[in-house]
Structure 1
Amino acid sequence: MGKRIINLSLWIAFGLWLPAAAAEEDNLFFSGTLMSEPCVLDADDEQYELDFERVIDKDIYINGRTLGKPITLRLKNCQLGFGKDKVNITFSGNASIDPPGLLVVQGSEVQGLLVGLETTNGDPLQLHTTYDMGTLVKGANQIKFNAYLQGTPKALAARSIGLGAFNSALNFTVGYE
């Protein structure tokens, strides 16, 4: 076994040396795009986790949905003068069909449950649509919206929302105009 390790080490060392001896000049190129964005998303908000905690199914059957839970994304170091003073957001994920534009949850036993998004005024924010979220000010800014749970029409009518743990993943893209 010791011989194999030595032989393998020699082959690895020889294999590393051989390409270096045959290397050519100017055979590695880099490219990219340097961009100027007015703000930086706070590092703590790049991965945001919202726990709905314990939700009682009767509340969803009675009201069709839960109350919205607030979400705040923080933009920092905003510099004006780039010609971009408005901020917008686009949400993407596994979108529902009925009703359209809500986020489908994942869970082994939970069915008929969706995550909805809305402005702080209660206006719906559907997936795969870009929404104007306001005008930027110099320094710190916030994008605020709510998330809620909602039953599908079929599950509400049949009272068949499955119980248990669930999760879902949502992506968002912040843009500037």
Structure 2
Amino acid sequence: VVAVLFAPLIGVKILPKAMKGHHDKPSRLLNGFRALLLPAMRFRWVTVAACVGLLGAAIVGMGHVQQQFFPASDRPEVLVDMTLPQNASISETKAQMDRFEQALKGDAEIKRWSSYVGQGAIRFYLPLDQQLSNAFFGQIVIETVSLEARDRTMARLNVLARRDFVGT
């Protein structure tokens, strides 16, 4: 209703009765654009072929560009998310995390770890999996001695979680 009724009425009231003509000499920009547009329209199949060729060259060229938007994860850290049932208290979450930390003690491939009960680890970027404050959630950041140790530690922790932390 607005587009059909009110927009034309507003246009009639705002616009002048007669538009001023552009009888001046066209600018160099307009002349340059016209010099490109007319041949492109006259030889349209050549234009289409050139555009398809440029698209193909762009696709082939993307294979030679370094992929640095998502760099490889070369950090020796493991994030362990611990989610208890949603009606769990923060003290139960702390108890379960303490029990999990007991399994980490004495592991030669682990340098150190930090635990966060009721919230996710502090980060200096905006992660896609941001963890909000919840009493039933905890997160442990484990730093291992090397990348290889990280992979072995993750495998051991997966076995530990399946064996000793069912339902968590």
**TM-score scaled by structure 2?**
0.25
Higher helix fraction: Structure 1 or Structure 2? 2
1 or 2 for the larger relative contact order (CA 8 Å, sep ≥6)? 1
**TM-score scaled by structure 1?**
0.25
Structure with higher Rg: it is: 2
Higher strand fraction: Structure 1 or Structure 2? 1
